[in-house]
Amino acid sequence: MKPILFNEPAITGNELGFIKNLLESKQFSGLYFYEKKCQFLIKKLINANTVYLTPSGTHSLELAAMLINLKKNDEVIMPSYTFSSTANAFVLHGAKIVFIDVDKDTMNIDLNKLEKAITKKTKAIVPVHYSGNSCDMKKLMKIAKKNNIYVIEDSAQAFLSKYNNKYLGNYGDIGCFSFHQTKNIHCSEGGAITINNPKLINRAEILREKGTNRSKFYRGEINKYNWVDIGSSYIPSEISNAFLYGQLLNAKKITNHRIKLWKRYEKNLKILSKNNLIKLNKISKNCKPNGHIFFIKLKNSTERNNLIIFLKKHNVESTFHYIPLHSTRIGKKIGFFNGNDDFTSSESLKLLRLPLHYKLTDKEVDYVSKLIINFFTN
């Protein structure tokens, strides 16, 4: 069998046509034709009120940090098991990062340890929807409201995932998405931000336009635009937008295929789980994830690494994931771990991600599953 890659960026076939149309129009900035089409389509796909495209998921988080007016030494609570961008965005604006433990089954923020981490300095909570799976957002929002704290959803992996039949990214004050090529829907590098708090909408438009009210000028609401606030350039290239539009038109098709493959892995490997040889992904109650990641848990890092080597010998790529941020050199400098690290470090050493992407076939999932079963059988 040909090599099975861990990830292959999805190509639907119509992206090039939209890029060609853009090149022929010679309208690369200003009118933002494809940006508007993408924003409208995202709003429709996830039932969001206000959506802005950004150059990356990292930029979405940075824009969110600016919108909540962080001050030096404000505290932002998040799980340690996440990518550096989740923390960087808030550190850049002076915040102190408070890391807390994860739920051992889902690798999402442990809500049972959340309230103990809240202080008078807490400005925001950042739940990370790991693998497109969600924590109990109803409970989290109740805690945040009680303490008058912003909620910024890191939904980088959760485009088209639902919790309680509501799309993730629509629960918090702000939702942040990534369209990096490792994500289900992509444009090489890209992102989006949903603004769910009405008080933040107008300023979000200004901050992403270098602190100007240029968007009002383009809409004909003012005769000339001015510099009215701080800001930066959070508007993506129209070439990226054209590519993304082709992806978004097929977003449900891509997502449904990945969910089907996810369920096939689960069915194939359930026998190992029943025999306590591995642990499978556990989907949170009331959550419908988007098939972004399928992971298994081994007994320890040695067994995980041996399985990685075994699969590689059979032309299958697999990989672990994050190094917990609180254990890194910079993580120790910019924040601290609140409470006990019961699961974050230990569970991260057991986690192994299997190939899962739009080009993957049922036959290939069965092949990978059979290899893993053979690894334990022999």
Per-residue model confidence as pLDDT tens digits over 185-198: 999 999 999 999 99
Dihedral in degrees, nearest 10, Cα atoms 205, 209, 212, 215: -60
> Residue 18: is it exposed, middle or buried by C-beta count within 10 angstroms (0-12/13-18/19+)?
buried
* CATH number for the domain running over 15-250: 3.40.640.10
The Cα 269–Cα 2 span in angstroms is: 22
The DSSP H or E segment spanning 176 is strand 174-178
Per-residue model confidence as pLDDT tens digits over 37-70: 999 999 999 999 999 999 999 999 999 999 999 9
Instruction: Give the CATH fold of the 252-377 domain.
Output: Aspartate Aminotransferase, domain 1 (3.90.1150)
Rounded to an integer, the average pLDDT of 301-324 is 98
The DSSP H or E segment spanning 99 is strand 96-100
Question: Could you tell me the pTM of the whole model?
Answer: 0.96
| Among 215, 206, 208, CA closest to 31 | 215
Per-residue model confidence as pLDDT tens digits over 246-295: 999 999 999 999 999 999 999 999 999 999 999 999 999 999 999 999 99
- Roughly what angle, to the nearest 10 degrees, separates helices 238-248 and 33-46? 30
Model confidence band, residue 32 (pLDDT cutoffs 50, 70, 90): confident
Model confidence band, residue 31 (pLDDT cutoffs 50, 70, 90): low
Q: In the chain, what percentage of residues exceed pLDDT 90? A: 95
pLDDT score of 119 more than 80: yes
Residue extent(s) of CATH 3.40.640.10 domains in the chain: 15-250
> Residue 72: is it exposed, middle or buried by C-beta count within 10 angstroms (0-12/13-18/19+)?
exposed
- 327 by DSSP, 3-state: which? helix
H-type alpha helices, 275-358: 301-313, 329-334, 344-348
Residue extent(s) of CATH 3.90.1150.10 domains in the chain: 252-377
| Count of CB atoms situated within 10 Å of the CB of 329 | 6
The Cα 277–Cα 70 span in angstroms is: 46
